[in-house]
Amino acid sequence: MSDNPAIDPTAVPSGAGCAECDAVGGWWFHLRRCALCGHIGCCDSSPSQHASAHAAASGHPVITSFEPGEAWFWSYPDEQFYESGPDLAGPEHHPLDQPTPGPAGRVPADWRQHIHQ
Pick one of 39, 62, 75, 103: the residue that binds Zn ion (CB under 5 A): 39
E strands of the chain, at which residues? 31-34, 40-42, 62-65, 73-75, 80-82
Q: Are 53 and 42 in contact (CB under 8 A)?
A: no
Site string for Zn ion, 48-87 (x = CB under 5 A): x-x-------x-x---------------------------
For 12, list phi and psi in degrees, rounded to 5.
-90, 150
Q: Give the C-alpha separation, 28 to 65, whole Å.
A: 14
The nearest distance, CB 48 to Zn ion, in angstroms, is: 4
Which of 37/71 has CB closer to Zn ion? 37
Confirm or reject binding of residue 31 to Zn ion (CB under 5 A): no
Q: Give the C-alpha separation, 44 to 49, whole Å.
A: 5
The nearest distance, CB 79 to Zn ion, in angstroms, is: 18
Confirm or reject binding of residue 32 to Zn ion (CB under 5 A): no
Confirm or reject binding of residue 11 to Zn ion (CB under 5 A): no
